[in-house]
Amino acid sequence: MPYIRETILTTISEAGDVHIAPLGIIQEGDGWVIAPFRPSTTLANIEANGLAVVNYTDDAKIFAGCLTGRKTWPLAPIGGCPVPRLEAALAHDVLKVERVTEDDTRPRHFCKVVSSGQHRPFTGMNRAKAAVLEAAILVSRLKMLPAEKIESEIAYLKIAIDKTAGPDEETAFYWLLEKVIEHLAEVERAG
């Protein structure tokens, strides 16, 4: 399996509107593959201008927020690049698309890093941040998973939250939990 970095991508539309979305970037040779499913705003934006900024952040609220309708986060300009970065980024890479493997469901955009920046220190690993990341991925796949699997994963991830979260990780997990509860209630009503 290839190495994947879980990141927040910033992209811009032709009109200049900024879009923020969590995305895993996939290591390939001396570059990175961005593979958004169709349809998505991220895909439309990189098709329009061939640019994406990869934000390396450990801010659990941004991952959880993007999955729960909280898509506006402070931005900062990058010199010489029309796409801004997240203000909260510890570091960023500007990626430029070099070639595309077309696909009806998930085209792969192979990119090279054209510039980078460092902004804040990394302050260490944390189980609750990792649990929020896993819960965010779970929430992005709710429709594909059986209810029992969702319930058991959330129960497991909550252990790390209870033991190691700060207020931000607790809030982020709660946002995701609300989505999960909503989804499970819908499944029960339908079923």
Which residues sit at the interface with ligand FMN, rule CB under 6 A?
A: 6, 21-24, 35-37, 40-42, 63, 67, 133, 136-137, 140
Contact between 158 and 180 (Cβ < 8 Å): no
129 Rama class: left (phi>0) / alpha (psi -120 to 50) / beta: alpha
- 63 vs 110, beta carbon nearer ligand FMN: 63
- 67 vs 86, beta carbon nearer ligand FMN: 67
Give least dist CB 132 to ligand FMN, A.
9
d(CA 73, CA 86): 7
Give least dist CB 63 to ligand FMN, A.
5
- 40 vs 188, beta carbon nearer ligand FMN: 40
What single-letter amino acid sits at 134?
E
Contact between 79 and 11 (Cβ < 8 Å): no
- How many residues would you count in the chain? 191
Contact between 162 and 173 (Cβ < 8 Å): no
- 80 vs 125, beta carbon nearer ligand FMN: 125
Give least dist CB 36 to ligand FMN, A.
4
- 67 vs 180, beta carbon nearer ligand FMN: 67
Quickly count helices (H) and strands (E) in the chain.
5, 8
DSSP type of residue 128 = H
Contact between 18 and 12 (Cβ < 8 Å): yes
- 42 vs 78, beta carbon nearer ligand FMN: 42
Give least dist CB 17 to ligand FMN, A.
12
Return the closest-CA partner of residue 53 out of 88, 118, 8: 8
Give least dist CB 101 to ligand FMN, A.
14
Give least dist CB 6 to ligand FMN, A.
4
